Amino acid sequence: KLGLFGDYMDVFKGIPFAAPTKTLEDPQPHPGWPGTLQAKDYQKRCLQSTLTQTDVRGSEDCLYLNIWVPQGKKQVSTNLPVMIWIYGGAFIWGGGQGANFLNNYLYDGEEIASRGKVIVVTFNYRLGPLGFLSTGDKALPGNYGLKDQHMAIAWVKRNIKNFGGDPDNITIFGESAGAVSVSLQTLSPYNKGLIKRAISQSGVGLCPWAIQKDPLFWAIKIAQKVGCPTDNTTVLADCLRITDPKTLTLAYHLDVINLRYPLVHYLAFTPVVDGDFIPDDPKNLFANAADVDYLLGINDMDGHFFASIDLPAINRPLVKITPENLYRIIQGLTVEKGSTGANEAYAIYTQMWSNTEDQEVMKRTVVDLETDYIFLVPTQRALQLHQENAKSAKTYSYLFSEPSRMPVYPKWVGADHADEIQYVFGKPFATPLAMIAYWTNFARTGDPNKGESNVPIAWVPYDNENGFYLEINHKINYQSVKQGLRTLYVNFWNVVYPLCMHTLGTGSKPLSEPSPDSGTGPRSSPTSSLSRVCRQLHWLPTTLQRSRIPASLWIGENIPTLPVKSSPLIFWGKKNGCLAVQV
């Protein structure tokens, strides 16, 4: 077809990259086809519930991909960089073509391919119970959706040269669950040598919702709903494999009304540490990505979508929220630490409040809290780990802050979850186009500043010492290069919060109510948070013969008793005790 700028664009839709799937089994290579394949139409997305969760759409035969190849006016393209898109949707919904409005598909790769002179690939992968149900053992190891993704990446590696692509210059990029998938694919030993670069938009493998830590709990729930025995995982697995796939899909229902816990806890069917494809906790696997250039970031109000479900009054100007509303959400996010964790988090998130009647401040605080917990903090940790392990690889960090275009949102709402996608794919009226320039330059060279496209400002690489990041919006200029994204809150979650004494069991599933001592409202104390934490940990008494000693000496003496790095040390407190010192 004729492209956007007078050049030609070759588009291939519905190419099978694996055989039709079998229920709860690993994907298998496609046997091929006789004659010529007519790759003109999108194929059905993988079987999933409708948004109302009352019916299903899609097919089990769904492992197909789509390719956009920009051609010159007279010459055929060769050795082009390749960008493989992995869609999001909470590992429950989605498809390689994305949402459709008047035959304009969200994940249409033409704009990126044409402007950036890159090949764009999108594909389907299995979702929900069919993609991620696991018993936590060999009976149903899980990660079928991740293995589908790997099959697509491997197919592109083997075949993209025939389409004019460079098989040694493949970038995978994705958003939300797709961004988590990107992260996990770079960490999996199965992809060694397949991936040159990666881009994660609002999600990494360290997110609290990225890994299901108790998959058997959810497998049993599904088995009970469809009438399978649950006392033996092998029997359970055999039964589920012969159950109608549509029945399995509808057996999981994501409630979004009157939740007892924050929504993030109910994302049940996600990747698992299976000892194989994901051999260990993702935080221990970053050496596998030492040679993969990594660009990652979040939207400044990524948590707004989640906060508006947890507390619908967020988007209702005439409905007020209270400090107790914030505290209850904090309780839900800090269940494993009980009242200690909740009180510490409440103290830091409300320390700047001067007037508890200011509804905008209070509602923004809820959004900031969920943005930090669900997206920002794990993303910052992933940046640090990638940079620490990187050999030849580069690391780049961004914050997307173009205000949401949703007319029903309050005016103070910034960039909500998934708001950046329209800018990455160049949808109509979605300016600036800087994201396409940065993204495709990065895919071409590993440097978002160098490539076929001009960029408005130089993007400084991330390093752990300076914490550089680029803030992206339509006002982007030299002041958009910044440092230390919400450092106080990141340090709280990474340094202080882990030291809180836990009072409840850990786990990613909402199994029990907070314990009686968790309280029903916010509690704080004039004593610094760090001193409370130290006292609860029962650290060693000082051996110095003084009644009072400098905190730095005391910490320096006692910190070796903890399994954490000893430098830099961060002292954290509230109000007058809020001071950060490197020792």
Tokens, residue 118:
């890159």
Helices in 390-510 by DSSP H: which ranges?
A: 421-424, 434-445, 487-491
Residue 302 annotated as catalytic = yes
Residue 150 annotated as catalytic = no
Cα 438 to Cα 570: distance, rounded to the nearest angstrom: 34
| DSSP SS3 for 271 | coil
Could you give phi then psi for residue 31, rounded to 5 degrees? -75, -10
Q: Of 306, 275, 312, nearest to 368 (Cα)?
A: 306
Tally the residues of the chain: 583
Could you give phi then psi for residue 163, rounded to 5 degrees? -105, 5
Q: Which of 49, 114, 176, 404 is catalytic?
A: 176
CB 440, CB 323: distance < 8 Å: no
Q: Which of 114, 417, 528, 529 is catalytic?
A: 417
- Measured between its terminal Cα atoms, the distance across the chain in Å is 62
The DSSP code sequence of 457-490 is S--PPP-TTT-EEEEESTT-SGGGEEE-TTHHHH
State which H helix or E strand residue 223 sits in: helix 215-226
Residue 55 annotated as catalytic = no
Could you give phi then psi for residue 199, rounded to 5 degrees? -130, 120
Q: Which of 293, 302, 310, 419 is catalytic?
A: 302
Q: Of 173, 217, 221, nearest to 195 (Cα)?
A: 173
CB 118, CB 80: distance < 8 Å: yes
Could you give phi then psi for residue 395, rounded to 5 degrees? -130, 135
67: buried, middle or exposed (CB in 10 Å: 19+, 13-18, 0-12)? buried
CA 420 to the chain's CA centroid: 14
Helix orientation angle between 233-241 and 215-226, rounded to the nearest 10 degrees: 50
Residues 6+ apart with CB under 8 A from 467: 397, 483, 484, 485, 487
Distances from the Cα of 110 to the Cαs of 22, 158, 299, in angstroms? Answer: 32, 22, 24
Cα 351 to Cα 330: distance, rounded to the nearest angstrom: 15
Tokens, residue 308:
């508006």
Catalytic center residues: 176, 302, 417
